[in-house]
Amino acid sequence: MRLSPLKLLCRALAWAIYALLGVGIVWGLVALVRMNGPVYFFQAVVDGLRLGFVYALIALGYTMVYGIVRLINFAHGDVFMVGAFASYFAITRYGWSFVPAILFAMVVCTLLNIVIERVAYKPLRQAPRIAALITAIGVSFFLEYFTALKFVFSADFITYKRPFEVVVWKIGGVMITNITVIIIVVTTLLLLVLQYIVYRTKMGKAMRATSMDNAAARLMGINVDGVISLTFAIGAALAGAAGVLYAIAFPQIITFMGIMPGLKAFVAAVLGGIGNIPGAFIGSLLMGEIDVLVVSFLPMGSRLRDLFAFLVLIVVFLVKPTGILGEAQVEKV
């Protein structure tokens, strides 16, 4: 196969841009370390990791659902919120400790998301994709405002009581809390479980088959509706766990708390390559770092943080719509 000179030029240009980008990032990081000292830099990196690992749990749900039904489930951030509230009730009302509370939140979110899928998305399976997308936005608003009613969760900020005391360790001047450690451990555990389900079980095989070709999977005798429900269930369980971890890290909850983390996780999923599980993880870690580093190193940074996050989305769409790990695929007509 011979490449036309124009294509060759394009490819060379692309590699040049990547190389430039790589050099730029390395140079930028070195400059950041030099600016305020390594302790300041690594403190920000640790804080970014904490956020990134939470984003990862949310982003996985986005990316899995997209991989299977090609739907961006905008209600995902609100399922995350419900997880935080479920654990709040478990901890403050019933005095449960961390592990039962997080399991409870995961179960509640799983049931909720299965109901959402059955009621809102399943009837639209054959409808144009935009219909399902608009419905997802509708479900998102419904969850936010229904739970904001007085007799549900109320529209107030609620102080979240942590199920354990905060412990701070100082390692070379960098402060690491037990919350950061727990977030990283829990997320890693859940990721390993997910990896096992997707690549080592029959259900996982069915999921992968469905994501490759929905119709063919059905012809092979796979229960596609069951697989879709399972995907929503797994995504919701992860989002529920994320909600608990987020509320423990930032101990105040409100029914609108899912909007921003949900959108950030969506950007992270796109950045990593939507539909791709390791991609979502890498994208989320990057998003977490971008969030904290922008605030730490730019004056008035917290106003620019969201701007940068969504700038990433635009740049990814313009430069590499398939994301870091996503593969280009031909749209089936």
Partner 1 sequence: MKRVMLAILAVVTVMSVALSGCSTPTPTPKPIPTAIPTNAGAVVPTATAAETASGTFPVKIAIVVPLSGDVKTFGESSRDGAMMAIEEARAAGWPIEVVLADSKCDAQEASNAANKVISEDGAKYIIGEVCSSASIPISQIAEAQKVLQISPTSTNPDVTINEDGSTKQYVFRACFLDPFQGEVMAALAIELGAKKGAILFDVGNDYVKGLAEYAKASFEAQGGEVPVYEAYSKDDSDFSGILGKVAAADVDVIFLPDYYNKNNLIAAQIKEKGIEAILIGGDGWDSPELQFELFEGGYFSNHYSPADPRPVVQDFVSAYEAKYGAVPDALATLAYDAARILLQSIAEAGVDDPTVVAEKMAAIEYEGVSGMISYDEQHNPVKAAAIVKIEGGKQVFYKFVAP
154 makes contact with partner 1 (CB under 8 A): yes
Q: Which stretch binds partner 1 (CB under 8 A): 118-126, 136-144, 214-222, 301-309?
A: 301-309
38 makes contact with partner 1 (CB under 8 A): no
Among 38, 89, 100, 177, indicate the residue that binds partner 1 (CB under 8 A).
177
256 makes contact with partner 1 (CB under 8 A): yes
Answer whether 127's CB lies under 8 Å from 136's CB. Answer: no
If we measure between CA atoms, which residue out of 76, 85, 236 comes closest to residue 148? 85
SS3 for 168-206 is EEEECCEEEEHHHHHHHHHHHHHHHHHHHHHHHCHHHHH
d(CA 8, CA 80): 46
Where in 188-227 is the site for partner 1 (CB under 8 A)?
Answer: none
107 makes contact with partner 1 (CB under 8 A): no
Tokens standing for 27?
Answer: 């140079």
- CA–CA–CA angle 77, 66, 15 (5° rounding): 105
Q: Which stretch binds partner 1 (CB under 8 A): 114-122, 153-161, 204-212, 318-326?
A: 153-161
If we measure between CA atoms, which residue out of 244, 238, 291, 282 comes closest to residue 264? 291
User: For residue 114, is it left (φ>0), alpha (ψ between -120 and 50) or beta?
Assistant: alpha
152 makes contact with partner 1 (CB under 8 A): no
In this structure, the strands spanning 252-253 and 174-177 are unpaired
Q: Of 96 and 250, which CB lies nearer to partner 1 in the complex structure?
A: 250
Q: Dihedrals φ, ψ of 113, to 5°?
A: -70, -35
Q: Of 97 and 302, which CB lies nearer to partner 1 in the complex structure?
A: 302
Among 157, 196, 199, 317, indicate the residue that binds partner 1 (CB under 8 A).
157
Q: Which stretch binds partner 1 (CB under 8 A): 75-83, 95-103, 112-120, 248-256?
A: 248-256
289 makes contact with partner 1 (CB under 8 A): no
76 makes contact with partner 1 (CB under 8 A): no
Amino acid at 95: G
d(CA 184, CA 53): 6
Tokens standing for 62?
Answer: 């986005």
CB of 178 to partner 1, least distance (A): 11
d(CA 190, CA 200): 15
Q: Of 128 and 172, which CB lies nearer to partner 1 in the complex structure?
A: 172
CB of 96 to partner 1, least distance (A): 21
Q: Of 251 and 278, which CB lies nearer to partner 1 in the complex structure?
A: 251
301 makes contact with partner 1 (CB under 8 A): yes
CB of 300 to partner 1, least distance (A): 6
Q: Of 102 and 287, which CB lies nearer to partner 1 in the complex structure?
A: 287
Answer whether 252's CB lies under 8 Å from 159's CB. Answer: yes
Q: Of 17 and 307, which CB lies nearer to partner 1 in the complex structure?
A: 307
140 makes contact with partner 1 (CB under 8 A): no
Residue with tokens 């399922």: 79
Site string for partner 1, 5-34 (x = CB under 8 A): ------------------------------
Among 10, 189, 252, 314, indicate the residue that binds partner 1 (CB under 8 A).
252
Tokens standing for 276?
Answer: 């791709």
Q: Which helix (H) or strand (E) holds 158?
A: strand 158-159
Neighbours of 144 (CB within 10 A): 20
Q: Of 178 and 223, which CB lies nearer to partner 1 in the complex structure?
A: 178
Residues near partner 1 (CB under 8 A): 36, 40, 43-44, 47, 50-51, 150, 154-157, 159, 166, 168, 175, 177, 246, 249-252, 256-257, 259-260, 291-296, 300-303, 305-306
